[in-house]
Structure 1
């Protein structure tokens, strides 16, 4: 995600010709876009990072559901 933010910032700075970024070649920006594409399309699935993130989200949802269920059915102590 930081790579995407850097690409967007570089695009904006180059487009609006702000500071030293006005002189940067478009090839640098397109190169970063290519690196991001390769990472998100090939390396991330190969390393299992996309599955890990989905697994963590499902685990969080399950824990919330279990806690909600048990909190709902708790009886007050006498």
Structure 2
């Protein structure tokens, strides 16, 4: 996502001819987009994206169970 943001900023600077970016080659401006595409291809093929999504769902499940325990008063243990 950072590569995509960087590419958009560089593209805008090149298009509006602002600063030293106006003199750069279009290949340098397009490089962050290519890196973003490579990152997404690797993340999808390696399973990184799926693992992150599964971890997020698991954490939401644990949080939901903890909230339900607190609402029932089961999760809180008092000392005697």
Residue aligning to 2:10 = 10
Q: Which runs of 4+ in 1 moved over 4 A?
A: none
Mapped contact 2:13–2:22 kept (Cα < 8 A)? yes
C-alpha deviation, 1:55, in angstroms: 1.4
Equivalences for residues 40-51 of structure 1 within 5 A: 40=40, 42-51=41-50
Q: TM-score with structure 2 length normalisation?
A: 0.78
Equivalences for residues 62-77 of structure 1 within 5 A: 62-74=61-73
- The unaligned stretches of length 5 or more in structure 2 are none
Whole-Å Cα distance in 2 between the matches of residues 20 and 29 of structure 1? 12
**For this pair of structures, how many residues does the alignment match?**
76
C-alpha deviation, 1:20, in angstroms: 0.3
- The unaligned stretches of length 5 or more in structure 1 are none
Residues 9-56 of structure 1: CA distance to partner in whole angstroms, max 9, x if unpaired? 11111112111001111122223312221321x211222210121012
Q: TM-score with structure 1 length normalisation?
A: 0.79
